[in-house]
Amino acid sequence: MMAVECAGCSRPILDRFLLHFLDKTWHSSCVKCQICRKLLDEKCFYREGKIYCREDFYRCFGPKCAGCGEGIVPQDYVRKARDKVYHLRCFACSMCSKQLSTGEVLYLQPGDDTLLCKDDYLKHHQGKTRNHLKIKQDTY
């Protein structure tokens, strides 16, 4: 009987235990996240021919923070303003870096998703009127 070839390393599988998924056979030690190389022994995510752990999959292919552009993973706490999602750490005034809170008035600049606190908005936009909104806290 001929040994089966591992889809991960192309070596024969002579081990007592092996994994079979995606219509392929793997050494249990070859199923690793494409990015962090963490051994995936319970769950994995697959896309475009590559295997990922949950965190790296969401960082690469999940929604992105409008503040920093990084991926948002399911356990991250987020805030939303209109249709934009922000990490809590990124939900801050772009001028003074003040962390914005639930229920606080803020201004979302059109075009670049820049957040401004009320004080900085009023300082820099005296006499002009813009839309403002109240924020609400959500988890993503």
**The total number of structural domains that make up the chain:** 2
Pair (115, 84) in one structural domain: yes
**Is 60 exceeded by the pLDDT of residue 133?**
no
Mean per-residue pLDDT over the chain, rounded: 83
Q: Is residue 71 part of a domain?
A: no
Q: What is the pLDDT of residue 125?
A: 72
Pair (8, 35) in one structural domain: yes
Pair (42, 91) in one structural domain: no
CATH number of residue 54's parent domain: 2.10.110.10
- At 81-114, the pLDDT tens digits run 888 899 999 999 999 999 998 888 888 877 777 8
Q: Is residue 35 part of a domain?
A: yes
Pair (55, 27) in one structural domain: yes
Question: How far, in Å, CA of 12 to CA of 128, rounded?
Answer: 71
Q: Is residue 70 part of a domain?
A: no
Domain that holds residue 104: 77-139
What is residue 116's three-state secondary structure?
strand
Q: Is there a contact between 95 and 68 (Cβ–Cβ < 8 Å)? A: no
Using the CB atoms, write b or e for 87-109: b if 16+ within 10 Å: beebbbbeeeebebeeeeebbbe
Question: How far, in Å, CA of 68 to CA of 92, rounded?
Answer: 11
Predicted structure pTM score: 0.64
Final residue of a structural domain among 61, 88, 103: 61
Q: Is residue 67 part of a domain?
A: no
